[in-house]
Amino acid sequence: MPEPTPATGALQKSSVLVTGATGNLGREVTARLRAQDARVRALARRRTGPVPGVESVTGDLTDPAAARAALAGIDTVFLVWPLLDAAHAHGLVEVLTETAPRVLYVSSAAIDDTADRQSDPIVQVHADMEALLHDAGLRTVVLRSDTLAANTRGWASQIRAGDVVAGPDIARTAVVDERDVADAAVAAVLGRQEREPDHGPYVLTGPDLLGRADQVDLLGAALRRPLRFEAVPAELARARMLADGRPEELVEALIAASLHRPESRRVTDHVERLTGRPSGTFARWAVDRAAEFS
């Protein structure tokens, strides 16, 4: 929440460091913070072109010196952890403890709080990061996001080339529009939530349980084309992803998720709690993004 300046009593702008600023979610968060007149610093691992009204910095979250420089003068961090191992986050957490910003951490709705180990490496690293931030005593708000609708952008080349989307299947889940997650994140960053615990975790979902075949059908409806999903066995999917040049660690994590992540039947109203409106449907997302698949 912005604080009044001692001299004038006027509200200072919130100063927010957005990590993962070039990603599907980070871009949406950055745009919304600027629209709310927040002071935004965008952190990316590679140099990017200038964005009006945004201070861009290049650095790696695993480098404490770079993290310390990026956090100078920042009161809130929108944190997306980019690695599959939380061990590399200890240096960052030490810097966060020194600089003491509020931390908004984007986690996974697939976390099972009753399990000793999570279903796959992607969910496990989120659980480990939550524990690390909590144990450090940081002022943390946790947003557990379900599968982002934007992940289907990875199918764009297949859809442009034909009517079949082939890949590893995964259990159904309440796919959520990344724009809704961004709206919820900005509401939490700017302290707009009412009568809600400040720390979360908020579990952000869409309104419908969808498998990959369902998503492909809805994309087909938006494009007015008869698309279909073709599930690929794990070994073939692994070989194809490795041949495409994806890192082996990521490929193994994606295969583990497809094999072991259980179906989620959980649909929440947490987007509405934070934003004041219900989450949108994947069908609406597909219509809005149809040009990206044409």
In contact, 228 and 288? CB cutoff 8 Å: no
Q: Which domains does the chain carry?
A: 15-148+177-205+266-280 (3.40.50.720)
Look-up of token digits 């987007």:
271
Token pair for 212? 């990959």
Rounded to whole angstroms, what are the CA distances from 116 to 103, 113, 184, 256, 262? 25, 8, 29, 17, 15
Phi, psi at residue 246, to the nearest 5°? Answer: -75, 145
Q: What is the pLDDT along the chain (294 residues), one digit of tens a residue?
A: 444 433 433 335 789 999 999 899 999 999 999 999 899 999 988 877 678 889 999 989 999 999 999 999 999 999 999 999 999 999 999 999 999 999 999 999 999 999 999 999 999 999 999 999 999 999 999 999 999 999 999 999 999 999 999 999 999 999 999 999 999 999 998 875 444 445 779 999 999 999 999 999 999 999 999 999 999 999 999 999 999 999 999 999 999 999 999 999 999 999 999 999 999 999 999 999 999 999
Confidence (pLDDT) at 74: 95
pTM (whole model) above 0.85: yes
pLDDT, residue 110, reads 97
Residue 273, token pair as written in the block: 């709690």
